[in-house]
Amino acid sequence: MAPHLNTSAAAKLPPVKNTTADRLLVAASELMIERNSIDVSLSDIAQKSGINAALVKYHFGNKDGLLLALLARDAATEVTHLEYLLAQPLTPTAKLKLHIAGIIKAYYQFPYMNRLIHYLLHESSTEAADEVSKFFVGPLLDFQRRLLAEGVAAGEFRNVDPVLFYTSLIGACDHLFFGRHAMTRAAGVGPVTDKVCRDYIAHMEALLLAGMLTDKEKVTAG
C-alpha cells in the first residue's frame, strides 16, 4: 500500500493533463474492469499504478474527480470517433448502422462507462452531472442531430425528432447493460455475452431502420 500523505494544499490546484494523470486513469479503468465495479478507492489506484497516493489526490482531488476524469477521457475518444464517422463517404443509413454498433460495443468494451454515467448523473454532485452533460450527452445529441438531418436531406430517413430519437436509441442500448442484470432473474434470460451483443446490434439496426412489421403489413399501412 502506498503511503497516504496529507496534501490538502496541493489538492486545491487545478488538475493538469500529463502522463502521470494518464497512467492513473489507465490503472483506474483496469481496476474497474478487473473488479467489474466502479467502487475503487484513490489508494487502490495508487497501489495499482505504483504512483504515490499524494499524486493521485493532487491530480483528481477526490474520488468523484477521478471518475469524472475517466469518463471524460473515454467520452473524448468516442466523440472523436463520431466526428470521423460523420466525415466518411458513406450513406446516412450506413453511418447510422455503424453508430448503433459503436454505442453497444463501447458499452460492452468499457463495462464501467455505463455505471459511471449513471452514478455521476444521479448520485454525485450537480457540478459532476453538468460536466457529464457537457462532454457526453451534448456532443452525442449534436452528432445524432446532424446525422438525422443528413439522412432526411438524402431522402433516406423520414423526419424524426432528434431528442426523442436520442432518448429511444440511448435508452435501448443502455438497458442491455443496466437492465440485463435484473432480467437474468427472469426465465430464459442469460448474461450479456459476445453473441448477445452481436444479436442486439443486429436487432437494433433492423428495428430502428425498418421496424417490426412484415413487408405485407407495411404496404397495407402505407
90 binds a second copy (CB under 8 A): no
CA gap 204, 103 in Å, rounded: 11
149 binds a second copy (CB under 8 A): no
Per-residue mark of binding to a second copy, 3-42 (x: CB under 8 A): ----------------------------------------
Separation of CA 178 from chain center? 12
Per-residue mark of binding to a second copy, 68-87 (x: CB under 8 A): --------------------
Q: Are 94 and 151 in contact (CB under 8 A)?
A: no
Cell numbers at 212, concatenated? 417490426
CA gap 129, 107 in Å, rounded: 19
Contact partners, residue 115, CB within 8 Å, separation at least 6: 37, 38, 178
Q: Are 34 and 81 in contact (CB under 8 A)?
A: no
Single residue of 6, 16, 187, 191 touching a second copy by CB under 8 A: 187
Q: Are 217 and 113 in contact (CB under 8 A)?
A: no
216 binds a second copy (CB under 8 A): yes
C-alpha dist (Å) from residue 74 to 70, 135, 183: 6, 10, 27
Single residue of 36, 37, 189, 193 touching a second copy by CB under 8 A: 189
Per-residue mark of binding to a second copy, 161-180 (x: CB under 8 A): x-xxxxxxxxxxxxxx-xxx
Single residue of 4, 73, 146, 203 touching a second copy by CB under 8 A: 203
127 binds a second copy (CB under 8 A): no
Q: What are phi and psi of 191, to 5 degrees?
A: -70, 170
CB of 46 to a second copy, least distance (A): 28
Q: Considering only the stretches 64-72, 82-90, 106-114, 151-159, report the one whose residues sit in contact with a second copy under the rule CB under 8 A.
A: 151-159
Single residue of 17, 37, 138, 153 touching a second copy by CB under 8 A: 138
Nearer residue to a second copy within complex by CB, 64 or 156: 156
Cell numbers at 99, concatenated? 453508430
* Count of residues interacting with a second copy (CB under 8 A): 62
105 binds a second copy (CB under 8 A): no
CA gap 25, 51 in Å, rounded: 12
